[in-house]
Structure 1
Amino acid sequence: MNTESSTDHFFEHPVLGHPSGLFVLFFTEMWERFSYYGMRALLVLFFTASIMDEGWGWPREHAMALFGTYTGLVYLSTMLGGYFADKKIGYRYAVAVGALLMTLGHACMALETQFFIYLGLTFLVFGSGFFKPNMTSIISEMYKNHEKKKDGAYTIFYMGVNAGAFLGILLCGYLGEKVGWSIGFGLAGIFMLFGLLQFWFSQNIFGDIGLKPTAESKAAQLQDDTDKRNPFSKWQLVLIAVSSLLGLAWLINSPASKISGGDFNIFDFEILGLGGNDFAILSALLIFIFLLIYRLTKYSKITRDKMIAIAFFSFLIIFFWAVFEQSPGTLTIFANDYTNRVLTGNASLTFLIVNTLVCVVPLVIINWVLLQLFKRTFRQYSLANIILSVSFVMIWAITLWMLINEWYQAGFLSLSDGFRESLMIEKNTTPLTEVPASWFGILNSLFIITFAPLFSRWWESKYNPTANMKYAIGLFLLGLGMACVAFGASGIEAGAKTASVSMIWLILVYLFHTLGELCISPVALSLVSKLSPARMIAFMFGVYYLAVAIGMKLAGIFGENVDKIANENGISYFFWMLTIISLVLAVFALVMQPVIKKLMHGVR
């Protein structure tokens, strides 16, 4: 924990106006997101691919059920990671433990057997729990007494998040679909290891931030907290345990009961007309809401108001992510089955030119940021910087190999047999370009990298909107994106299994969704850090990620029903439903602005 009263020393030798440590976290998070999104881009495709294509041949409902549980548990586990960091091991060790577990998880998944896939997902869940909340907690401590720069810092950090997502989806997705699933899963693990090593060998750049908590550091932290301590009583801990166990059992049972065909079902009963699954999750939610309301009455008015504001924004976050996270599920399925992805002639040439620019330009920008960090830190943290350099050499090599292969397969590039074989590129038989279904996922990250600096400037200007306005704009853009794909799919008949919709609709979806995400996700992280009591910062991030977890599972539940809705009313109807949800919540955020502004007590 940081026991210093000032953090001005972090700003003495800035990189792009921010502490060098922010960019160490930028690259650490980038490789973690590379591994997470790279693996995630393949997961649903791997589960639903036929056995002939070396997949598991699952129906979409089963794949979406497991995917929703996995992503939900990833964010739910952040509460456990936040607790251990706050009370036991500190932010730094939590990040390192999380990175190590995720490295092991990706290694397991590369083996592709049922046991190792499930074991790998388990490692990834716990690894993310230790890693995710504590990276943002380090930033919060670093920017203490520099509140005005926090929104910009989190937006830059979010740019690193999406740089990793961009590269992970691009390269892991391509290798997984074109070469082999295990190659894609394994590559994710390699770069997670790079992220771990880079962080470990440069951790001294954070000074006292994130060290294992001591009695002195806890006492110093309490001096900044004007609230009295409110420890949980035994009966509250019992209710927390009951609610947590019910929610966890439901998350695991939901996909397991479907995948096993009902052979495994721990909630195989009915109470008050409700099935066991429904009764379990409703009970867990009611217990949680009761505890939340009760706990809020135990804090001073200002702190209570701020925590109510966090709860309001967390409620909106649930539905934002439930709609937004259709990307790796229903939108990827839409790309795979309903979108014309085969290009020839001028269309193929145009795509290859655009794709080459899309791959190379962001890499050049990220390498320029890396160079700025080198200038400030290479002498003191040379080993960490060398590891970063090696990782980017590998990224450039894989990217260039991919581009050469695509240009050759499309018939626009000639290669001698010897050179082609040395690159392990298969002989060109039918010149054309087939855009991988996972490719569309990179658009979100690409647009983040493009627009994040503009939004960062906007948030730091005098035209910075209120929190509610940012949420309203973000939810409106989310709805606008879903309206695009709903309109594009309007010609697809109910029950149709394939179609050839233009790619432009998916491109527009990701554009509007990205702009909406920039209005909400990085701003939400900043708001939690500003509104939370000092001694509860990591725990409150855990509460925020609990809301995200619920949204992720809800996204999976939406996805489970896409086939049923598509067969009855057409897939366009499914996307129109999500459009309406988004627009209604945008109006709700706007209407609640006066109330929430009062509860925030001057925090912007």
Structure 2
Amino acid sequence: MSQNTTDQFFKNTVIGHPAGLFILFFTEMWERFSFYGMRSLLILFLTASFTDGGWEWTRENASALFGSYVGLVYLSTMLGGYFADKVIGFRWAVVVGAVLMTLGHAAMAVETEFSIYLGLILLVFGNGFFKPNMTSIISEMYKDRPEKKDGAYTLFYMGVNAGAFFGILLCGYLGEKVGWSYGFGLAGIFMFFGMLQFWLSQNIFGDIGLKPNKESKAKAEALDSDKRNPFTPWQLALIALTSILGLLWILNAPASKISGGKIDVFAFLGSGGNNYAILTALVLFIILLVYRFTQYSKITREKLMAVTFFAFLTIFFWAIFEQSPNSLTIFASDYTNRVLEGNWSVIFLVMNSLITVLPLGIITWVLFLMFKQTFKNYALANIILSLSFVIVWGIALWMLAKDYYTAGYLDLSDGTLELLKIEKVTTALTEVPATWFSTLNSLFIISLAPLFSKWWESKYNPSANIKYGIGMFLLALGMACVAIGASGIAPGAKTASVSMIWLILVYLFHTMGELCISPVGLSYVSKLVPGRMIAFMFGVWYLAVAIGMKGAGMFGENIDTIANEHGLSYFFWMLTIISVVVAVFSIIMTPVIKKLMHGVR
């Protein structure tokens, strides 16, 4: 890489950063648009009635499939990361992932049973190839400019949240108001645009992310001074066994429920076969992990133990936080009064217009700044990116205009409109889409992230344990809000009209909890883990996230059983109590973990 020092990337900058960062910014934005847009619709589509175009699944079955899907998404990152590092390079991994996800969304738009399952499989592998490699390119681009890296990741994170916001807003709106296939299809269209602009602009990254060769592998090994501790045959066999058991469990759990027991690979173990399989896998993995720790020096071993502790807490965080596209979306759809009248309707329409147009305007301005630096060399990529923004502007303005026009009308199943007032509309009436509430997470992150960043940089910056404790308490506070809101819902009730203020508070507190926990975890993996073990421990971390995602589905599977017996409020109070217990546990373990971290903050 003699001709590819980081200086060349900073010759032509946009807002003080390389133009290449913004190629990644927009690619990631469209990928997050597609991922969150589809995810916001999945549970609603599966549980919607046949007359509304859905599959009329039980919430239990829908949550089981959802949990396995998001769990597999994070597990697949280990596979994608391995192939990128060892075989095809970061760039090809991003392209392969984007193509697979485009095909996945296209398959889901067809809406047949086969195409939906095929689409989910393609999305799992697509995310696995795509997700871990975008940040790897940024890391390489800034490796000689560490002082600029925090700002780069902040900008990149803005792209992530902008994509999530617009994906949920537009795909969710089309899916709920027009048709499920339109929501699924739109997600695929923008993933395709993101892939094209990345592929056509890739030369801007110099040699970064190319397919690894003997020379690059030798150079990487020469830079790694950590002691080697290769996996022995019995350890590899144990990894293979635990991986197979875990994969079969995560696939078999929803398959056995959805098929009514006709498909059950662990049936020979009895009614608790799934539980026996995953417990066996976890025990074997813990044995391997503990043994691996014993092979390192005392300080290294203790640092690895600290990382494992935070990974354990992370399981509970994601299991509860990821109720957003699951039980909280069901709560928004079936138990929340989403019809606003009079002044509140007008306020919502104006507010929704502002939070749609202003961020889109800011990002379009960033796009214009990038064009001035890159259009000469990457004209086609810029034209394609421009076309994608023309489309998203068109859909956004159409959505806002439709909301203003139909205020006071009821959208019937055949597409016609009926006056909600018998004689004439005397007051504005607006129905807020159930998926709209999920956009609040991205909005609150964009608004609050600078405040939390200032907090972490101040002398009042708390320790990792305290941050986790605060995050889990905020998670508990959010769940307590929706539990209080649901307190008047009788056991077994299928609908209700709870005020939407409770959901708004949930997303406010949960977002603050996310800002305390989500950015902290991976940072401590990189700080505490030796270079030679970083891949293995990132694998442990993503395994914890995957378990948490599957846990979110497992919690959601029980919502109807608990709601029918004890009431819906009871379900959310359970999640509140779990969050408080984990928060307290994190805080009281502060002295122990601080000692294990050996001065790392």
Using the size of structure 1 for normalisation, the TM-score is: 0.92
Residue in 1 aligned with 2:253? Answer: 254
| Residue matched to 2:28 | 29
Q: Does the aligned pair in 2 maintain the 1:156–1:452 contact within 8 Å?
A: no
Counterpart of 1:133 in structure 2 is 132
Partner of residue 349, structure 1: 346
1:477–1:344 CA distance, 2 compared to 1 (3 A): same
Query: Aligned pair in 2 of structure 1 residues 532, 153: CA closer, same or farther (>3 Å)?
Result: farther
Per-residue deviation, 1:538 = 5.2
- In structure 2, the partner of 1:374 is 371
Identity of aligned residues (%): 72
Q: Distance in 2 between matches of 1:15 and 1:255?
A: 47
Amino acid at match of 1:350: I
1:3–1:220 contact (8 Å) kept in structure 2: no
1:513-560 Cα deviation digits (max 9, x unpaired): 111112222333333344444455555444322211110000000000
- Change in 2 beyond 3 A, CA 1:470/1:7: farther
Task: Name the counterpart of 1:440.
Answer: 437
Alpha-carbon distance in 2 for matches of 1:443, 1:596: 34
Residue 314 of structure 2 corresponds to 317
Which amino acid in structure 2 is aligned with residue 388 of structure 1?
Answer: L
Give me the whole-angstrom Cα distance separating, in 2, the residues matched to 1:553 and 1:435: 29
- 1:510 and 2:517 are equivalent in the alignment: no
Distance 1:455 1:18, change over 3 A: farther
Residue aligned with 1:489, SS: helix
Aligned residue in 2 for 1:107: 106
Deviation at 1:149, TM superposition (A): 5.1
Contact 2:375 2:382 in 1 (8 A): yes
| 1:421 equivalent in structure 2 | none
2:84 is matched with 85
Corresponding residue of 2:263: 264
Q: CA deviation at 1:457?
A: 4.4
Equivalent residues in 2 for 1:35-46, closer than 5 Å: 35-46=34-45
- 1:330 partnered with 2:327: yes
Find the partner of 1:546 among 527, 543, 548. Answer: 543
Matched ranges for 1:354-369 at <5 A: 354-369=351-366
Task: Output the amino acid matched with 1:158.
Answer: Y
The residue number in structure 1 matching 2:463 is 466
Q: What's the CA shift string for 1:227-256, capped at 9, x where partnerless?
A: 122222211111111111111111111111
Match of 1:453 among 450, 456, 475: 450
Q: Aligned AA for 1:137?
A: S
Which deviates further from its counterpart, 450-459 or 5-14? 5-14
Which sits farther off after the overlay, 455-464 or 80-89? Answer: 455-464
Distance 1:302 1:17 in 2: 40
Asked whether the 8 Å contact 2:91–2:209 carries over to 1, the reply is: yes
From the superposition, tell whether residues 211 and 601 of structure 1 become closer, same or farther in structure 2 (CA, over 3 Å).
Answer: farther
Letter in 1 for 2:41: L
Q: Match for residue 174 of structure 2? A: 175
8 Å contact kept, 1:38–1:170: yes
How far the C-alpha of 1:29 sits from its partner, in A, is 1.1
1:275 shift after superposition? 1.6
**Which letter maps to 1:337?**
D
> Structure 1 residue 452: deviation in Å?
2.7
Q: 1:128 to 1:538 in 2, by over 3 A?
A: farther
Superposed CA deviations along residues 330-385 of structure 1, whole A, max 9, x for unmatched, are 00110111100122222221211111112112212222333333344333433333
Distance change (3 Å), C-alpha of 1:405 and 1:127: same
Shift of 1:26: 1.9
Please report how far the alpha carbon of residue 300 of structure 1 lies from its aligned counterpart in structure 2 after TM superposition: 4.3
Q: Which runs of 5+ in 1 are unaligned?
A: 413-423
Which shifted more, 208-217 or 426-435?
426-435
Contact 1:222 1:534 in 2 (8 A): no
What RMSD over aligned residues (CA atoms) do the two structures have, in Å? Answer: 2.4
Contact 2:226 2:531 in 1 (8 A): no
Deviation per CA, 1:275-309: give whole Å up to 9, x if none: 21111000111111111111222334454444333
When residues 190 and 538 of structure 1 are mapped into structure 2, their CA distance, relative to the original with a 3 A threshold, is farther
Task: Give the alignment partner of residue 296 of structure 1, picking from 282, 293, 309.
Answer: 293
Q: Classify 1:243/1:106 alpha carbon distance in 2 versus 1 (closer, same or farther; 3 Å).
A: same
Secondary structure of 2:487 counterpart: coil
- Alpha-carbon distance in structure 2 between the residues aligned to 1:304 and 1:144: 27
Query: What are the equivalent positions in structure 2 for 1:511-590 lying under 5 Å apart?
Result: 511-534=508-531, 537=534, 540-590=537-587
CA distance in 2, matches of 1:26, 1:302: 38
Q: Distance in 2 between matches of 1:375 and 1:403?
A: 30
Q: 1:226 to 1:398 in 2, by over 3 A?
A: same
- Cα 1:428/1:569, change in 2 over 3 Å: closer
* Cα deviation, residue 122, structure 1: 0.5
1:164 equivalent in structure 2: 163
Residue 588 of structure 1: CA displacement? 2.5
Does the Cα contact within 8 Å between 2:45 and 2:55 map onto a contact in 1?
A: yes
Would you say the 8 A contact 2:226–2:532 is kept in 1? no
Pairing 1:234-249 to 2, within 5 Å after superposition: 234-249=233-248
The SS at the match of 1:269 is helix
Structure 1 range deviating more: 293-302 or 477-486: 293-302
Q: Which amino acid aligns with 1:210?
A: G
Instruction: Report the counterpart of residue 399 of structure 2 in structure 1.
Output: 402
Secondary structure class of the residue paired with 2:224: coil
Give how far 1:160 is off. 1.5
Letter in 1 for 2:205: F
Cα shift at 1:202: 2.2
Local SS of the residue matching 2:230:
coil
In structure 2, do the counterparts of structure 1 residues 362 and 259 end up closer, same or farther at CA, with 3 Å as the change threshold? Answer: same
**Alpha-carbon spacing, 1:425–1:256, altered in 2? closer, same or farther (3 Å):** closer
Partner of 1:218: 217
Structure 1 CA distance, aligned partners of 2:381 and 2:4?
Answer: 29
Give the C-alpha shift of residue 27 in structure 1. 1.5
Taking structure 1 as reference, are residues 541 and 474 closer, same or farther at Cα in structure 2, changes over 3 Å only? same
- Alignment deviations for residues 120-169 of structure 1 (CA, whole Å, 9 cap, x no partner): 11100100111111122223333435556545543432222111111111
Distance 1:149 1:574, change over 3 A: farther
The residue type equivalent to 1:519 in the other structure is C
Give secondary structure in 2 for the equivalent of 1:208: coil
For each residue in 1:363-413, what CA deviation from the matched residue of structure 2 results, as whole angstroms up to 9, or x when unmatched? 12222333333344333433333222211111110000001101000059x
Measured at CA, do residues 290 and 73 of structure 1 come closer, stay the same or move farther in structure 2, by a change above 3 Å?
Answer: same
Q: Is the 8 A contact 1:82 1:542 kept in 2?
A: no
| Deviations 1:310-329 (CA, angstroms, capped at 9, x unpaired) | 32221121111100000011
The answer to whether the 8 Å contact 1:152/1:460 transfers is no
Displacement of 1:118: 0.5
Letter in 1 for 2:589: M
Distance 2:122 2:107 in 1: 9
1:89 is displaced (CA, Å) by 1.1
Tell me if structure 2 keeps the 8 A contact 1:107–1:189: yes
Out of 306-315 and 174-183, give the one that drifted further.
Answer: 306-315
Structure-2-length-normalised TM-score: 0.92
1:428 is displaced (CA, Å) by 6.0
Distance 1:379 1:301 in 2: 56
Match of residue 283 from structure 2: 286
The number of residues matched between the two structures is: 590
How far the C-alpha of 1:226 sits from its partner, in A, is 2.4
**Are 1:483 and 2:480 matched, yes or no?**
yes
CA distance in 2, matches of 1:206, 1:305: 38
- Give distance in 2, aligned partners of 1:18 and 1:528: 26
Match status 1:47 vs 2:46 = yes
